[in-house]
Amino acid sequence: MENHLATLFRWLLVPVALAVIAFLIYHLFRWFGWKKKQAMGLALVSPWIVGFLIFTLYPLGDSLYLSFTKSSIFGKTEWVGLDNYIKLFTLDIEFWPSVRITLLYALFSLPIGVIGALLIAMLLNNQIKGIGTFRTIYFLPAVLPEVAVALLWRWMFNSESGILNYILSPFFKLFGMGKPNWFGDPDFILPAFIIMSVWGIFGTNTVVFLAGLQGVPRSLYEAAEIDGASGFRKFLHITVPQISPVILLQIVMGMIGALQIFTIAMFVRPSTAAGKFMNQLVYERGFTQMHMGEASAIAWVLFLIILVLTLLVFRSSPAWVHYESDMKR
Amino acid sequence: MARSLAAGGGLGTRRMNAIKRALIYIIVTFLAAVILVPFFWMLSTALQEKGDIFAWPPQWIPDPPQWRNFAEAWTAMPFNRYLGNTIFVVVLGITAELASATIVAYGFARFRFPGSDLIFLILLATMMLPFHVTLIPTFLIWQHFGLVGEFDPLVLRAWTAWGPFYIFLLRQFFLTIPRELDDAAEIDGANTLQTFFLIMLPQIRPALLAVAIFAFRGYWNDFLGPLIYLTDMKLYTMNVGMYFFMGGVNEAPQWNYLMAMSIIIALPVVLLFFVAQRYFIEGITFTGLKD
């Protein structure tokens, strides 16, 4: 209870401090000659700016700095130049397997997630009786806590008496193989995670796509129907271009999410023989082995991977993303 | 229906539509079953006797259902205390998040100042920043202030509106309110604060609810934060408690208890979803689409 009260007290002080900062910023910029409304705007957004400087910008720079040092939580930091990176790329036996499994997971789960969610959304976009109930069921996986999802799937994938091996056992018999030990066998870990990611096509992505589909003007389809376009052609030439901004958003956010997989992997606890996901490696190196420098280097490699891939997707977007405003121009 | 008749007309198309409709029903029902079977399996395992869990073929209906599994799992660890801690973190987090995000979003929606567009762009870009890249320095900051092991790292930051997604969502809602409304209030002599509280806030109630729901889900589901910052067992949240309840690497998990606890952990979020589904979906839709 003591800890709670102490935290509560400090928690109450923070908004006071932020209000004072906002007040000072307002008067400072008024003094610089800003208009009332301008200074007010800056003052209103100042809490975010303060948070950004302390908890995003500074840590970003500091983690880059730490990645060039040898440091632990308690000890001193010592500049070692590129040593951490060189060690990771050449000596570290855990690094490349980790990059490999993280990228492969994203590579497979992303298209499944985006295309799957789009198909599900198209299905739910049909006006049939009881569709409301179905939508509720389809969105359920999205609200389930990751902890519960991970444990549920770990249990379903259980090699001894998991439901998945039970359902699939006729197939296994057909091919003359035994029950796979999904999360224990290095060959099956990636497939198991990919199967698990299919669960993610129900939920948030589906809701966003559904909203996108409902925003496509009816008149476009009607015009195409008069021209005698088939269902597939309508999908390809009307639906896809119309919702391409949504697809872009889903690809970017889905990719970032997939590359950052952490909680699920921690609870599923797969055999480490196939490699740990990169974020798991960051956590382990930083917080259980206390190698803050190495952990920061891994985090920066992951950050750069995400940055490069995101930029590539955005660079490609003018070729296939269609914005309504372009047409008006 | 009316539309399909008008467009198709002939008997052939109508039959086609009937077949299509039936096909859609079959697919939709099948997929719903695919989603619901794991849920059923979860409940079924949670109610099984320890000896029956590993039965082959699996037992679908536990006989008799062991309702006491829930009580036994709950008391196996101090989950009462963990629930209290979680609620503490959730309440403080949501309150701070809502208050600060609303004010910041209002600033971005209604005021223009030199650099405001650039700042907003940076805010959007932070959505793509991987959490782990700032993790270690952030930890070091809290350590510097001697607050590692306390709840502070989990809840103080919420005051700085650190969910860019929430700011974005609220800003989009503010933008839908016609400017004439604030102008009228200003002419009537209302100051910025009065306009904000009396005119703007009531207009964006659905968005506030959506943010509250998302924030609840975020804090309730958070695992990494509590895992690294809470060092004292007495301060654990539900999810960290679950992590240790799961047992060590070489321990065989007790699946009936773990499923029972998973259900308990999922229940508040699922119930909230049923009650507030409209706001939840509205929130996702709004941010997913509008510019």
Q: Which of B31, B54, B69 is the last residue of a domain?
A: B69
Same domain membership, residue B53 and residue B156: no
Buried/exposed B44-57: b ≥16 CB within 10 Å, e otherwise: bbbbbeeebbeeee
Q: Give the number of domains in chain B.
A: 2
State the complex-level ipTM.
0.89
What is the SS3 assignment for B188?
coil
Is position A131 within any domain? yes
Stretch among A13-17, A253-257, B9-13, B147-151 having the lowest mean pLDDT: B9-13
CATH number, domain of A126, equals: 1.10.3720.10
Q: What is the pLDDT of residues A36-94, one digit of tens each?
A: 999 999 999 999 999 999 999 999 999 999 999 998 766 678 899 999 999 999 999 99
In whole angstroms, how large is the CA radius of gyration of chain A?
Answer: 25
Contacts of A86 (CB under 8 A, 6+ apart): none
In the DSSP assignment, the letter for residue A128 is -
Q: What pLDDT shows up at residue B267? A: 93
Q: B5 — contact with chain A (CB < 8 Å)?
A: no
**Partner-chain contact A52 B123, CB within 8 Å:** yes
B177 and B261 inside one domain = yes
- Dihedral, B155, B159, B160, B162 alpha carbons, nearest 10: 50
The closest alpha carbon to B154, from B218, B208, B100, belongs to B218
Domain boundary pick from B69, B91, B121: B69
Of the listed ranges A64-78, B7-21, B62-76, B101-115, the least confidently predicted one is B7-21
Q: Are residues A55 and A126 in the same domain?
A: no
CA–CA dist B206, B266 (Å, integer):
24
B165 has a chain A CB within 8 A of its CB:
no
Q: Does residue A315 lie in a domain region?
A: yes
pLDDT band at B12 (very low <50, low <70, confident <90, very high): low
**Which chain B residue's Cα is nearest to A162?**
B58
User: Are A60 and A153 found together in one domain?
Assistant: no
| DSSP state at residue B290 | -
Average pLDDT over residues A22-40: 95
CB within 8 Å of A234: residues ≥ 6 apart: A221, A224, A225
Whether A230 and A99 share a structural domain: yes
Q: Are residues A58 and A198 in the same domain?
A: no
Tell me, yes or no, whether A78 lies in a domain. Answer: no
DSSP string, A217-260: -HHHHHHHHHTT--HHHHIIIIIHHHTHHHHHHHHHHHHHHHHT
Whether residue A165 is contained in a domain is answered as yes
How do residues B190-205 score in pLDDT, each as one tens digit? Answer: 888 888 888 888 888 8
Which structural domain, as residue segments, surrounds residue A162?
89-328
Pick the residue of A67, A155, A260 with the most B CBs within 10 A to test the interface with B by mutation.
Answer: A155
Same domain flag for B88 and B216: yes
How many domains are contained in chain A?
2
d(CA B78, CA B69): 15
CA distance linking residue B222 with residue A257, whole number of Å = 15
Residue B235: which of A288, A286, A2 has the closest Cα? A2
Q: Is residue A277 part of a domain?
A: yes
- Same domain for B134 and B276, yes or no, is yes
**Is residue A77 included in any domain, yes or no?**
no
Whether B24 and B123 share a structural domain? no
Q: Given an 8 Å threshold on Cβ–Cβ distance, is A41 in contact with B111?
A: yes
Output Rg (C-alpha) for chain B, integer angstroms: 25
Distance CA A125, CA A106 (A): 28
Cβ separation A156–B270 shorter than 8 A: no
Q: Is residue A71 part of a domain?
A: no
- Provide the domain limits for residue B95: 75-289
Question: Which of A32, A66, A100 delimits the end of a domain?
Answer: A66
pLDDT tens track for A249-300: 889 989 999 999 999 999 988 888 888 999 999 999 999 998 999 999 999 9
> Chain B interface, mutation test: which of A2, A4, A5, A7, most B Cβ atoms within 10 Å?
A7
Q: What is the pLDDT of residue B224?
A: 93
Residue A77 β-bridge partners = A71
Q: Same domain, yes or no, for B156 and B251? A: yes
Is there a single domain that holds both residue A124 and residue A40?
no
Nearest to A7 among B137, B150, B265 (CB): B150
Q: ω into residue B57 within 30 of 0, thus cis?
A: yes
Q: What percent of chain A has pLDDT over 90?
A: 51
A-contacting residues in B 227-266 (Cβ below 8 Å): 228, 232, 234-235, 239, 242-243, 246, 249, 253, 255, 258-259, 262-263, 265-266
Buried b / exposed e along A137-151 (16+ C-beta atoms within 10 A): bbbbbbbbbbbbbbb
- Residues 6 or more apart in contact with residue A74 via CB below 8 angstroms: A290
